[in-house]
């Protein structure tokens, strides 16, 4: 085990195999991005009039935002529910959330037909549009997260009086962050309220907003757990197992709530649940494999108190959130019946490059910013 | 009064003159087409084809084939889903009836394509800087008192342009006057809150199998924009609620922790 770690991370800052692979993907992505900008969406993606939204919407935007839900979830747990013991997990959660949103905005930039008009919703308003609200919330929330990261940078630059100022108004940032997240996490689901006729019965729900919100909390907690394990492995730190198993308990509860919400919703709408086709296969995988299974796993204290058990439970739940977003936006979407969609190489490379870029920024950030520990002695936030 | 078009498919002769007139007025390039299993040509609406005639052959029980020609284009809903979803307000319903698109506002998010219940807006996939394209009801012609180019060119008066109220009255008059000739419902009168395109057909849209060709019959009579507007009307309250709850819970929980701390300290002192 230690040998493996040595091989991947012989020293911080040096170009290691892991980083080298990430850089190669990133460069391939940059080339693809340039090709996409010069040749347009039609010739570089497999999107069409039948499938106007594809991989980038499903993964970069819907899944990315849900997985970045850890920032507001942890902030709410610590500052609003006063669960101070989770404080060691807050900074990495906020930092990965910020990177998630940064990556999301870059992904959106390449998905838009007119990328340089990305600022238009700021001045051209349509208050009856859910997407208008989402774009405003995302802009403001990314700003909130940016201020948060800026405070970390201020700590590094030892501007303590400024840090103290931000600490004083910190509750404002937390409340704004929680409020904006609640709104846009659920509104991303509400985008699909307007197209029930194009969606499978399994996902076309009037309750899709609350369902998206709940699963974003799951995605956030799952990613915080995974991120904690992976970075403790990569940076050779001891994982905070006690904290994480406590978080795992919470994750199990949220999964149960989400499962109950899903089942109630399906029952209330009278959706045909028991059939066998492609959509139902993905539906069963989502509901039983990635919601019910980790929820059951997390009821066992043996699972909650082992790294491997938590790793699997958190991994399954996070994967389940991604699967749900793909199901809602692609599996469920009927479009034209005689067309199908599978992403092009350029779509896939750009998405992979966004992930690689996110990891590299995180890696860079943990070395230059006080992500894992406050530089102010005794105080962490 | 909002303008509309009465499309009497029993009068259509399938000449596709409307397709040509549309291309002429909007200066759209022609398309090299190929033979296929259908007479409809081109096969799909796209950013260069704002309208097309769908050719349907329906077999009678006695074996005779009946031809039906149904024109497809933007329905110009009275309360359009595209207008309600566009985050930058690039799609607007004009007072005269047309639903028009502003090239200079659009960011290219394609939500209108996803939300349109008739799958009308199309994207310029062939261009590096693409925009949305769709039938605009010849808004520029309507503005100066002309009829849309398709209805102007129609040789058999299958496309009649006029005030929506008057055309609806005329549609129902025709249904009443020729009971066997028409299906007794006007497609577009009520669907998704009403559209500016009013269709008279000899049989229902389901029999014509049009419900999978852009003319769904399961859409209901409620405009789709309502779902988004209902959601948006709750947003300010959710924001206030969550914000208030967050601040309140923060202070309550903090106070509770303080009290607990004090109690445990007092316990130690005793």
| Residue ranges covered by each domain of chain A | 32-37+51-368
CB under 8 Å to A28, separation ≥6 — which residues?
A349, A353
Residue A56 to residue A347: CA distance in whole angstroms: 7
Residues in chain B with CB shorter than 8 Å from the CB of A39 are 128
The correct answer on CATH 1.20.1630.10 for the domain covering A32-37+51-368 is yes
Q: Alpha carbon B144 to chain centroid distance? A: 25
Q: Is the pLDDT of residue B121 over 90?
A: yes
**What DSSP line would sit under A71-124, residue for residue?**
HHHHHIIIIIS--GGGHHHHHHHHHHHHHHHHHHHHHHHHHSSSGGGTTHHHHS
Q: Kindly state the percentage of chain B with pLDDT values over 90.
A: 82
Nearest-5° angle of CA A271, CA A329, CA B74? 95
Contact A248/A312 with Cβ under 8 angstroms? Answer: no
Question: How many CA atoms within 13 Å lie on the side-chain side of A290?
Answer: 22
Length of chain A (residues): 381
Query: Higher-confidence residue: A232 or B78?
Result: B78
How do B197-200 and B3-8 pair as beta strands? parallel
Cα dihedral: B141, B146, B149, B153 (round 10): -170
Length of chain B (residues): 270
E-assigned strands of B60-110?
65-72, 91-93, 99-101
Contact B234/A187 with Cβ under 8 angstroms? Answer: no
Q: How many CB atoms lie within 10 A of CB A372?
A: 15
Give pLDDT, residue A371. Answer: 84
Residue pLDDT, tens place only, A165-179: 988 888 999 999 999
Give pLDDT, residue A8. Answer: 45
Q: Which residues 171-190 of A are in CB contact (within 8 Å) with B? A: 171, 174-176, 178-179, 182-183, 186-187, 190
Work out the end-to-end distance of chain A between its first and last CA atoms, rounded to an integer number of angstroms. 33
A373 touching chain B per CB within 8 A: no
Q: Is the pLDDT of residue B6 over 90?
A: yes
**Regions of chain A where pLDDT drops below 70:** 1-15, 335-337, 373-381
Q: Is the pLDDT of residue B57 over 60?
A: yes
For residue A157, what are the β-bridge partners? none
| Tokens standing for residue B171 | 């549609």
Residues in chain A with CB shorter than 8 Å from the CB of B222 are none
Cβ of A114 within 8 Å of Cβ of B106? The answer is yes
Residues in chain B with CB shorter than 8 Å from the CB of A114 are 106-108, 129, 131
Q: Which helix (H) or strand (E) holds B123?
A: strand B122-123
Minimal Cα–Cα distance from B102 to chain A, Å? 12
Residue A342 to residue A330: CA distance in whole angstroms: 10
Please return the burial class of B218, using the count of CB atoms within 10 Å of its CB with bins 0-12, 13-18 and 19+: exposed
Cβ of B44 within 8 Å of Cβ of A43? The answer is no
Residues in chain B with CB shorter than 8 Å from the CB of A124 are 88-90, 105
Cβ of B212 within 8 Å of Cβ of A125? The answer is no
Helices then strands, counting H and E runs in chain A, come out as 17, 0
DSSP state for residue A58 in the 8-state scheme: I
Q: Out of B81, B130, B243, whose CB is closest to A194?
A: B81
Nearest alpha carbon to residue A354 among A26, A54, A17, A24: A26
Residue B16 to residue B21: CA distance in whole angstroms: 9
Residue pLDDT, tens place only, B228-254: 999 999 999 999 999 999 999 999 998
Cβ of B219 within 8 Å of Cβ of A129? The answer is no
How do B65-72 and B197-200 pair as beta strands? unpaired
Give pLDDT, residue A367. Answer: 83
Q: Out of A40, A111, A131, whose CB is closest to B87?
A: A131
Residue B235 to residue B211: CA distance in whole angstroms: 34
Domain B82-123 belongs to what architecture? 2-Layer Sandwich (3.30)
Residues in chain B with CB shorter than 8 Å from the CB of A336 are 119
Residue pLDDT, tens place only, A128-159: 999 999 999 999 999 999 999 999 999 889 88
Q: Is the pLDDT of residue B64 over 90?
A: no
Residues in chain A with CB shorter than 8 Å from the CB of B131 are 113-114
Mutate to test the interface with B, among A77, A80, A177, A199 (most CBs of B within 10 A): A80
Question: How many CA atoms within 13 Å lie on the side-chain side of A307?
Answer: 10
Residue A360 to residue A365: CA distance in whole angstroms: 8
Q: Which helix (H) or strand (E) holds B61?
A: none
Nearest alpha carbon to residue A109 among A153, A157, A60: A60
* CATH for the stretch B3-79+140-223: 3.30.70.20
Minimal Cα–Cα distance from B135 to chain A, Å? 15
Give pLDDT, residue A2. Answer: 42
Cβ of A112 within 8 Å of Cβ of B109? The answer is yes
Give pLDDT, residue A369. Answer: 87
Q: Out of B81, B115, B125, whose CB is closest to A42?
A: B125
Cβ of B88 within 8 Å of Cβ of A120? The answer is yes
């Amino acid at each position: 085990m230690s040998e493996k770690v040595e091989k991947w991370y012989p020293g911080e800052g040096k170009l290691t195999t892991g980083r080298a692979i990430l850089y190669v993907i990133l460069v391939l992505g940059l080339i693809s991005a340039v090709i996409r900008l010069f040749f347009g969406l039609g010739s570089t993606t497999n999107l069409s009039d039948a499938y106007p939204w594809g991989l980038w919407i499903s993964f970069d935007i819907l899944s990315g935002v849900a997985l970045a839900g850890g920032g507001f979830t942890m902030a709410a747990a610590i500052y609003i529910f006063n669960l101070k013991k989770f404080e060691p997990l807050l900074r990495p959660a906020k930092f990965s959330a910020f990177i998630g949103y940064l990556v999301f905005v870059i992904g959106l930039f390449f998905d838009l037909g007119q990328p340089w008009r990305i600022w238009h919703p700021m001045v051209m308003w349509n208050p009856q549009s859910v997407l208008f609200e989402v774009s405003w919330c995302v802009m403001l929330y990314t700003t909130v997260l940016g201020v948060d990261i800026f405070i970390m940078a201020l700590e590094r630059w030892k501007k303590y009086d400024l840090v103290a100022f931000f600490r004083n108004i910190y509750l404002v940032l937390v409340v704004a962050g929680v409020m904006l997240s609640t709104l846009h996490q659920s509104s991303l689901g509400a985008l699909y309220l307007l197209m029930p006729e194009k969606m499978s019965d399994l996902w076309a729900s009037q309750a899709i907003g609350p369902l998206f919100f709940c699963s974003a909390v799951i995605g956030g907690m799952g990613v915080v757990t995974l991120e904690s394990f992976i970075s403790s492995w990569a940076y050779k730190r001891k994982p905070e197992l006690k904290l994480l198993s406590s978080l795992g308990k919470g994750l199990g509860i949220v999964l149960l709530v989400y499962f109950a919400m899903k089942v109630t919703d399906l029952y209330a709408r009278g959706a045909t649940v028991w059939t066998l086709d492609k959509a139902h296969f993905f539906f069963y995988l989502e509901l039983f494999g990635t919601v019910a299974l980790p929820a059951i796993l997390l009821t066992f204290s043996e699972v909650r108190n082992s790294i491997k058990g938590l790793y699997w439970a958190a991994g399954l739940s996070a994967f389940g959130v991604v699967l749900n977003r793909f199901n809602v936006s692609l599996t469920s979407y009927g479009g034209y019946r005689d067309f199908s969609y599978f992403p092009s190489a350029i779509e896939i490379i750009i998405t992979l490059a966004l992930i690689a870029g996110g990891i590299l920024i995180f890696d860079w950030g943990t070395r230059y910013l006080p992500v894992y520990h406050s530089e102010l002695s005794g105080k962490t936030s | 009064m909002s303008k509309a078009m009465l499309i009497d498919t029993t009068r259509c002769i399938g000449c596709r003159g409307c397709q040509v007139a549309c291309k002429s007025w909007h200066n759209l390039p022609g398309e090299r087409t190929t033979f296929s299993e259908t007479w409809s040509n081109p096969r799909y609406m796209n950013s260069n084809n704002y309208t097309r005639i769908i050719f349907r052959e329906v077999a009678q029980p006695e074996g005779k084939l009946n031809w039906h020609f149904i024109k497809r284009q933007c329905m110009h809903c009275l309360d359009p889903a595209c207008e309600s979803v566009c985050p930058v307000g690039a799609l607007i319903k004009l007072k005269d009836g047309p639903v028009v698109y502003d090239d200079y506002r659009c960011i290219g998010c394609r939500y209108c394509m996803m939300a349109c219940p008739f799958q009308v807006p199309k994207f310029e996939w062939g261009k590096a800087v693409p925009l949305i394209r769709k039938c605009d009801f010849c808004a520029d012609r309507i503005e100066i008192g002309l009829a849309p180019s398709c209805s102007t060119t129609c040789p058999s008066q299958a496309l009649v342009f006029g005030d929506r109220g008057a055309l609806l009255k005329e549609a129902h008059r025709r249904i009443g006057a020729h009971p066997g000739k028409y299906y007794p419902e006007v497609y577009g009168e009520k669907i998704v809150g009403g559209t500016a395109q009013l269709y008279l057909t000899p049989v229902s849209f389901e029999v014509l199998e049009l419900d999978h060709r852009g003319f769904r019959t399961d859409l209901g009579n409620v405009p789709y924009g309502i779902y988004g507007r209902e959601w948006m009307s709750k947003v300010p309250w959710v924001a206030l609620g969550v914000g208030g709850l967050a601040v309140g819970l923060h202070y309550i929980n903090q106070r509770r922790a303080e009290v607990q701390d004090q109690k445990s300290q007092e316990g130690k002192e005793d």
